[in-house]
Amino acid sequence: MLIINESRELNSFLSLFELTGLKVAFVPTMGALHQGHIALIRKANQSGGLVVCSIFINPTQFNKTEDFEKYPVQAESDIDLLKANGCDVVFLPKKEEIYPNGTDYDLPFDPGYLDDIMEGKFRPGHFKGVAQVVYRLLELVQPHELVMGEKDFQQVAVIRKMIADMELGVELVTCRTVREKDGLAMSSRNLLLKADYREKATVIYQSMVECRENLKSMKASQAKKMAIEKIESAGLKPEYFELVDPFTLLSISDEQTKGPVQACVAAWAGNVRLIDNMPVRH
């Protein structure tokens, strides 16, 4: 596995690789890798070409400095894990490589209403930061495929919109959320959970499973209310629990009794903010 720090070096390697005529599949990450990321690497490997993974903790997508500062870093074990799981190139850029002209947002892309709902509402500026870094990484890696996890459901929707609006011509491939045995979605932030909250955090998954059952006989607003109460009674602080159309991400009304529904949730487990989602009606 090649470890590359500079975009110039990445560019010269990719120009050589291009001669093979094979595809490049790209997995952007912020490190602190877990089995969820490994599933993305495996998916990327299915393209049969080169698998490039980036590790870059992007400062522009954190709306709170302390969140950026406490983001887990474990570069060495990340590299070992990537090496053992079929990654060909790991790109570890410095901030100057990604933002040579500073971090001001200058992309001709607007996430639109996706910036005002759920994650967008509670993390102002987050999606513009994600769009900014993913755009820049795509510019550097020029992949055929971009592989992302469905755990960040709204992030995938924003990037899908960016690819369409800016006609980026890269194929977006998504991967199902990987869960711990008790249902907790794998996330780098789980490393920050204190033992008691790690145990309690499983209620997020349970609330969605229960909601899936409740939706069979209840109005959406009632099922949502019960899910919020369940999360609260376990000692977590829900920020939102929304039942949305999986394509538009707009909330469904009580009158919409047919069609697919995705539950999307964000909750605080102590001082750690967790998000998750799941289809609750097909």
Instruction: Name the residues annotated as catalytic.
Output: 37
Span from 41-49, 127-135, 161-169, 264-272 in contact with ligand PAF (CB under 6 A): 127-135
Q: If binding is defined by CB under 6 A, does position 174 make contact with ligand PAF?
A: no
Q: If binding is defined by CB under 6 A, does position 280 make contact with ligand PAF?
A: no
Candidates 7, 47, 58, 214; binder of ligand PAF (CB under 6 A) is 58
Rounded Cα–Cα distance for residues 156 and 142 (Å): 18
Q: If binding is defined by CB under 6 A, does position 89 make contact with ligand PAF?
A: no
Rounded Cα–Cα distance for residues 90 and 56 (Å): 10
Residue closer to ligand PAF (CB basis): 117 or 146: 146
118 backbone φψ class: left, alpha, beta (φ>0; ψ -120 to 50): left
Q: If binding is defined by CB under 6 A, does position 120 make contact with ligand PAF?
A: no
Q: How far is the CB of 11 from ligand PAF (least distance, A)?
A: 20
Candidates 10, 24, 25, 30; binder of ligand PAF (CB under 6 A) is 30
DSSP state of 43: H
Q: If binding is defined by CB under 6 A, does position 130 make contact with ligand PAF?
A: yes
β-bridge partners, 91:
4, 54
Distance of CA 276 to the CA centre of its chain: 10
Q: If binding is defined by CB under 6 A, does position 133 make contact with ligand PAF?
A: yes
Q: How far is the CB of 164 from ligand PAF (least distance, A)?
A: 17
Query: How many chain residues are in contact with ligand PAF, going by CB under 6 A?
Result: 10
Q: If binding is defined by CB under 6 A, does position 28 make contact with ligand PAF?
A: yes
Rounded Cα–Cα distance for residues 222 and 211 (Å): 9
Three-state secondary-structure class, residue 55: strand
- How many other C-beta atoms can be found within 10 angstroms of the C-beta atom of residue 27? 31
How many residues comprise the chain? 282
Q: How far is the CB of 116 from ligand PAF (least distance, A)?
A: 19
Q: If binding is defined by CB under 6 A, does position 134 make contact with ligand PAF?
A: yes
Q: How far is the CB of 36 from ligand PAF (least distance, A)?
A: 10
Q: If binding is defined by CB under 6 A, does position 29 make contact with ligand PAF?
A: yes
Long-range pairs of 79-83 with CB within 8 A, sequence gap ≥ 24: 79/1, 79/3, 81/33, 81/37, 81/38, 82/1, 82/33, 82/41, 82/53, 83/1
Name the site residues for ligand PAF (rule: CB under 6 A): 28-30, 58, 61, 130, 133-134, 152, 155
